[in-house]
A and B are shown apart, each in its own frame.
Chain A
Amino acid sequence: MVPCPLCSAPLTFPVGGPVLAVRCPGCRREVTGVAWLARDRGAGRIVRPAVVVDGGAGCFSCPERAATGVCAGCGSYTCPGCEAEWFGEHLCLRCLHARREVIEAPRFRRRTRVHDNIALMLLVLPLLFIPFYGIFLAMLASPVVLFLVIRHRHAPRGLPPRGPFRWWLAGGLAGLLLLLGVAGIGAVVYSVMAISGRATEVVVEVPPPADGEASGAGVDEVAVDGESMAGEEER
């Protein structure tokens, strides 16, 4: 029975072909498809393991069960409940887990975290979706991106192979933004220092009072300025 892709109503197709179009009784749509007899090949069958008899080999994981196979990975005896078939290869569950999760052999790999894409998007998404302020967010993210790029430089980039273009792009962009950020901070600090220095110069440029005609407050300023000028002259 083939479920309709839209409404899951059971449909009937001729086994082994040809490709036919039938009308779904549930959603009334035309469904094109083909079916095979794969269900009779043992997939999804539940096999009850036999109890081990005297002199017979027992399963490595459950010794009370009779072994029916040998793991292609480690060679241990397995019962039907403790083995799995992976493209014609019979493996015990420990070996299967190791190949899928630990070793991540290409034919067994389950998932890949694509670090260069994550790094690139950490920079690009703020620039794309946050106008103006996005560049500041990207600058803040650039050290993280550089860390990701360097830390995972040898990590696999997915099962279908890809070139290192995105890795280089993320690294280059992060480096550029980091330099821009450092330069910006430097420029701000320099500007603040320059402004404060100019303010001091303005105070220095106040002319000294003539013959003590200034008021009390003016006298204080003059005295300070006079001292600073005197100090400068001495230097």
Chain B
Amino acid sequence: MKRRFDDYERLARGLFGVSSFWLGPHDLLYVRGTGVLLPFVEEYLRFETARIQSVAIVRTRTGMVLNLIFGAPAVALGVAGALALRQAGAAVGDAVFLFYALAVPALGLAAVCLVLLVINLVLGPTCRFQIQTATRVARVRPLSRLRPARRVLAQLAPVLTAAQAGGPEGPEGPEGPEGSERLGGASGLAVTEPPGL
């Protein structure tokens, strides 16, 4: 999958590239793919940068659960395989074949679990990345790991602040100028809270 197309820059991509998240000149584009291994249908969710109300991240326990799911069998099968291998060395006759027949599959499965565990540990803790607009609250699935999610949030925050402080669209509606003034005060990173929040 390309890193950029037209004016869009890729921020994140999901497993096998089924879903992806892009930053455009005026919007964030979430390509939500549904399918098996490859996307059969792609849906496009666009979030206009001037209309985004909030972005939030929360750490989840999915990564820890995955560590347990991969780690426990890796340890158990590894120990069982090692014990069987050790017994095979001391056994005589047909028992040697039996112990090897137990040890080899156990160690193979343990190795697979270990690889998955290492991959999960390298990817880091999991999280939920959420974007809120006036009409929807959407979860961005490609950003399911905490480190890339924080990096993207740090990248997005100044872009969204600039867009809302009088970007290309500018304020609209009867509440526009007032909102713009209020936002202008707030965009200087002052910790002020609007009445609605």
CA distance A19 to B57 in the complex (A): 10
Fill in one digit per residue for A1-16: 1 if any B CB lies within 8 Å of its CB, else 0. 1111110000111111
B56: Cβ under 8 A from any A Cβ: yes
Cα-based distance from A77 to B183 in the complex (angstroms): 33
A36-B164, A88-B169, A110-B44 known; A16 and B186 CB under 8 Å?
Answer: yes
- Which 10 pairs show the lowest CB-CB distances between chains A and B? A42-B173, A33-B56, A44-B134, A40-B179, A16-B186, A43-B134, A117-B38, A5-B130, A5-B128, A35-B54
Determine the residue in chain B with the shortest Cβ distance to A14: B191
Q: List A residues at the B interface (Cβ < 8 Å).
A: 1-6, 11-19, 24, 27, 29-45, 87-88, 106, 109-114, 117-118, 120-121, 124-125, 158-162, 166
CB-defined contacts of A159 to chain B, threshold 8 Å: 29, 31, 42, 44
Q: Which of the listed residues A14, A110, A118 has the most CB atoms from chain B within 10 Å of its own CB?
A: A14
Q: Are B189 and A17 in contact (CB under 8 A)?
A: yes
B44 & A161 in contact (Cβ 8 Å cutoff): no
Q: Which residue of A lies closest to B52 (CB)?
A: A38
> Which of B10, B55, B133, B169 gathers most chain A CB within 10 Å?
B55
Neighbouring B residues of A87 by C-beta, 8 Å: 26-27, 46, 48, 169
Contact B57 A121 (CB under 8 A): no
Please provide the chain B residues from 129 to 173 with a CB less than 8 Å away from any CB of chain A in the complex: 129-130, 132-135, 137, 139, 150, 153-154, 157, 160-161, 164-165, 168-169, 171-173
- Cross-interface CB contact of B160 among A32, A36, A43, A125, cutoff 8 Å: A36
Contacts A29-B59, A31-B57, A41-B176 known; 17 new A-B pairs at CB < 8 A: A3-B130, A30-B58, A34-B153, A36-B54, A37-B179, A37-B186, A38-B50, A38-B51, A38-B53, A42-B175, A88-B169, A106-B6, A110-B43, A117-B39, A117-B40, A118-B40, A160-B8
Residues of chain A lying within 8 A (CB to CB) of residue B132:
2-3
Complex Cα distance, B135 from A44, in Å, reads: 7
A-B contact pairs, 29 of them (CB 8 A): A1-B197, A4-B58, A5-B139, A6-B58, A11-B56, A16-B164, A16-B190, A29-B59, A33-B57, A34-B55, A36-B183, A37-B182, A37-B194, A40-B182, A42-B175, A87-B46, A87-B48, A88-B168, A112-B44, A113-B41, A114-B35, A114-B42, A117-B39, A118-B40, A121-B38, A124-B37, A159-B31, A160-B22, A160-B31
Q: Which listed residue (A38, A111, A124) contacts B42, Cβ 8 A?
A: A111
User: Closest chain B residue to A10 by CB distance?
Assistant: B197
Residues of A within 8 A of B161 (CB): 16-17, 36
Instruction: Return A226 CB to nearest CB of chain B, in Å.
Output: 61
Q: Are B197 and A15 in contact (CB under 8 A)?
A: yes
How far apart sit A2 and B171, CA to CA, in the bound complex (Å)?
22
B26 CB contacts on chain A under 8 angstroms: 87-88
A37 and B164 contacting across the interface, CB-CB below 8 Å: yes
Check B172–A42 contact: CB distance below 8 A: yes
Chain A residues with Cβ below 8 Å from B56 are 2-5, 11, 13, 31-33
B197 x A35 contact (CB < 8 A): yes
Taking CB atoms, residues of chain A closer than 8 Å to B128 are 5-6
Could you tell me the distance between the alpha carbons of A166 and B189 in the complex, rounded to whole angstroms?
Answer: 48
On chain B, the residues within 8 Å of A16 by CB distance are 161, 164-165, 183, 186-190
Q: Is the CB of B41 within 8 A of A114?
A: yes
Q: Which residues of B contact A41 (CB under 8 A)?
A: 50-51, 171-173, 175-176, 179
Contact residues in A for B189 (Cβ distance below 8 Å): 16-18
Contact between A15 and B42, CB atoms less than 8 A apart: no
Contact A112 B2 (CB under 8 A): no
Interface status of B67 (Cβ within 8 A of chain A): no
How far, in whole Å, are A44 and B191 apart by their CA atoms in the complex? 26
Q: Decide yes or no: A158 and B31 within 8 Å by CB, A32-B150, A37-B194, A42-B173 being known contacts.
A: yes
Shortest beta-carbon distance from B126 to chain A in Å: 12
Contact B191 A31 (CB under 8 A): no
